[in-house]
Structures are given as structure tokens and as C-alpha cells.
């Protein structure tokens, strides 16, 4: 789409934005089988899950529990909701990702996940490859949700990239 | 949950969304939603608001995929009043930022929120959430079946 005329919409003087969020706190997706989604998130992806109410699954990385190595640190949450039908099937460009600690860990993950593809009800598991400096592969779960297992060198971690700022003109198309 | 898993990730690291007008999308994200954005690649912008995770905005040619509200990203604001103010701002600046749909404000279990669909057909929820909300949910454990 063409860029809308923005000038008259800019925040009032002194404000940096109309909304002032404290966090980009979570992302959501749907599943037709919350038990299956939980098995995958815990048993395959190694994430922590809880079902606070029927039909809702919360997911975060491990270690944030009281006394855990990440206790008190901020984290991102995925919220899965159980539905009878996935109304908007997802595609690879709409995926969730986890970081692992090495290139070898990506290869090992690929071997293990490929070997247990049926047990976890997965669809396609793509082969690892280098892309934009990271090494990663994708797979799709039984609800069309895509997942990426990725390794990034320290200089390519998001926190490092933020310190560098824009590397491409933000006004370029 | 500490049982063995196939992988042991360091971080639940990212989600993704699509856009086909990078500069216009950035104006919406920064000016309206107040998200921090960097562009490390011609094909992608990285969105964040603290934390080690990000949402990757990938540039696509042609039409973006139409998402449903079941697949969305949540932004936390500090108070219920800020949710209401964001709703007013979204309504006022809907056309200027290419906002496609704005749902009504709802309140459930003390969480006030509303959802909007942006120019990229991506859904956002703005809610007076804090991490304590999730801390408490994980600490309470599973509901009683």
C-alpha cells in the first residue's frame, strides 16, 4: 500500500508516540489440540508451559521459576488457545523462534526432530541452512504453526544488533 | 517442567510478521505503537520494547497474508486509562496510519484491552498487562481439570 499522509497524525509535542508500551509482552497462536501443543513445546522445544484455564496454554523459556537461573529476568510469552478449527493457516514467514547455543546444536536438533516427526505430529521439517548470518531450520506443527530453531553468533543477537542501530536507511523502500 | 526435551533453547527468541511498505510500517510502529525498530537488513526490521527477544518484520512483495485476531502480538501499557487513550488515538488516527480495523475495549479479570488490525493485516492487542500477570499464572500452575 502507499504510505498514508502522516504529518498531521504525529504525536503531540513532547510525546514520542501515541501508545507508550512498557513491553512487547506476548504473541498468540491457535491449536486444535492443546495437549499435543504442550507435548511439543515441552518435550521437543524444551519450553515451560502452564494451562491457567481450560483451553489456554502459556509458554516461556525455562529458568524463570522462583530460584531458577533466569528468575526475575524479563521474558516473552506465547499464548496458545484451543480452537475447533484453524481459521487462518500460518505460513513460514509467520513463525516463532528459539535460539540454541551453537551450530552443532542446530544440527543435533534437526536430527532429533526429524527422527520424531510423527511422534510429535509434525509436518515438514526443513534442512538447516545459513541465512543472513544465522544458521537455522524450520518445521511446521500439526496446526500449521511454523517454528525456527536458530543459532546466531553473539554479534548477531538482537541485543547486539540494537546497539548498532539501523544498518539500512529506514526510509528506503 | 524439567524432564528431558529434544532441544534445550537459550531463549524463546522471536516472532514474525509481514509488511510490504517498510517506511510506512515503521512510522506506524514507532509513532503510533511506540515500538523500538531497527533495520539491519533491506528485507527486515526488528521490533522490540526491552528484553532479548524481538519480532521480525519481513518485507514481502505484493499482498501480505491476512491474519486473524487469533494470531496477534500483545503490547503492555501501564494502566487501564492508557488502554482507553490508545483506543481513542487509534480511532482518531485510523486513516493516517492505515489502521484497517479497531475492535471495542473489553475488560476481563481486571485486564482491559482492545485489538486492532494494522495496514499489514497484522493484529495487535493493547492491554494493561504486566509480567507479574504471567509470573503469577506460571506460579499457580495448571488449572484443576
ipTM of the modeled complex: 0.95
Residue A173 lies in a domain: no
A117 & A145 share domain: yes
pTM: 0.94
Per residue in A52-63, is it b (16+ CB within 10 Å) or e — as a string?
beeebbbbbbbe
A85 touches chain B (CB under 8 A): no
Mean pLDDT score across all residues of chain A: 93
Residue A10 lies in a domain: no
B134 touches chain A (CB under 8 A): yes
CB neighbours (10 Å) of residue A144? 17
Strand partners for B78: none
What pLDDT is attached to residue B92? Answer: 97
Residue B107 and residue A27 in contact, taking contact as beta carbons nearer than 8 Å: no
* DSSP category for residue A126: P
Read off the C-alpha cell for B130: 504486566
- On the question of pLDDT at B61 being above 60, the answer is yes
For A17, the closest of B31, B44, B55 (CB atoms) is: B31
Among all chains, which residue has been given the C-alpha cell 505503537? B33
What pLDDT is attached to residue A133? Answer: 83
What pLDDT is attached to residue B3? Answer: 64
Cβ-in-10-Å burial (0-12, 13-18, 19+) of A36 comes to: middle
Kindly report the nearest CA distance between residue B103 and chain A, in angstroms: 16
Q: Do A28 and B11 touch (CB under 8 A)?
A: no
A99 touches chain B (CB under 8 A): yes
Read off the C-alpha cell for A66: 522462583
Q: With bands split at pLDDT 50, 70 and 90, how would you rate the model's confidence at A15?
A: confident
CATH class as words, domain B71-145? alpha beta
CB neighbours (10 Å) of residue A162? 16
pLDDT digits (tens, 9 = 90+) for A96-132: 999 999 999 999 999 999 999 999 999 999 999 998 8
Residue A50 lies in a domain: yes
Among all chains, which residue has been given the C-alpha cell 526491552? B50
pLDDT digits (tens, 9 = 90+) for B26-45: 999 999 999 999 999 999 99
A71 & A140 share domain: no
DSSP B87-135: HHHHHHTTTTTT--EEPPPEEETTEEEEEEE-TTS-EEEEE---HHHHH
Fold type of domain B12-61: 2,3-Dihydroxybiphenyl 1,2-Dioxygenase; domain 1 (3.10.180)
CA pair distance B140, A50, nearest whole angstrom: 9
Amino acid at each position: 500500500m502507499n504510505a498514508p499522509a502522516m504529518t498531521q497524525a504525529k504525536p503531540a509535542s513532547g510525546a514520542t508516540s501515541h501508545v507508550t508500551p512498557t513491553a512487547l509482552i506476548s504473541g498468540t497462536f491457535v491449536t486444535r489440540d492443546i495437549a499435543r501443543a504442550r507435548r511439543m513445546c515441552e518435550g521437543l522445544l524444551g519450553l515451560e508451559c502452564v494451562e491457567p484455564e481450560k483451553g489456554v496454554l502459556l509458554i516461556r523459556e525455562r529458568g524463570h521459576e522462583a530460584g531458577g537461573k533466569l528468575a526475575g529476568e524479563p521474558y516473552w510469552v506465547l499464548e496458545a488457545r484451543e480452537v475447533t478449527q484453524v481459521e487462518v493457516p500460518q505460513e513460514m514467514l509467520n513463525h516463532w523462534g528459539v535460539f540454541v547455543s551453537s551450530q552443532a546444536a542446530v544440527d543435533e536438533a534437526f536430527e532429533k526432530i526429524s527422527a520424531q516427526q510423527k511422534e510429535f505430529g509434525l509436518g515438514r521439517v526443513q534442512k538447516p541452512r545459513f541465512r543472513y548470518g544465522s544458521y537455522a531450520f524450520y518445521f511446521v506443527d500439526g496446526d500449521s504453526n511454523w517454528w525456527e530453531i536458530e543459532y546466531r553468533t553473539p554479534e548477531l543477537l538482537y541485543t547486539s544488533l540494537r546497539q548498532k542501530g539501523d544498518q539500512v536507511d529506514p526510509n528506503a523502500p | 517442567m524439567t524432564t528431558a526435551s529434544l532441544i534445550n533453547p537459550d531463549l524463546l527468541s522471536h516472532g514474525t510478521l509481514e509488511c510490504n511498505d517498510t517506511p510506512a510500517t515503521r512510522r506506524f510502529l514507532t509513532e503510533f505503537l511506540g515500538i523500538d525498530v531497527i533495520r539491519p537488513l533491506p528485507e527486515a526490521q526488528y521490533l522490540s520494547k526491552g528484553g532479548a527477544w524481538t519480532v521480525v518484520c519481513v518485507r514481502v512483495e505484493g499482498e501480505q497474508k491476512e491474519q486473524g485476531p487469533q494470531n496477534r502480538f500483545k503490547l503492555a501499557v501501564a494502566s487501564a486509562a492508557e488502554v482507553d487513550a490508545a483506543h481513542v488515538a487509534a480511532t482518531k488516527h485510523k486513516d493516517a496510519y492505515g489502521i484497517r480495523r479497531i475492535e471495542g475495549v473489553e475488560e476481563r479479570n481486571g485486564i482491559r484491552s482492545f485489538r486492532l488490525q494494522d495496514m499489514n493485516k497484522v493484529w495487535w492487542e493493547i492491554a494493561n498487562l504486566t509480567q507479574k500477570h504471567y509470573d503469577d499464572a506460571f506460579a499457580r500452575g495448571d488449572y484443576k481439570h
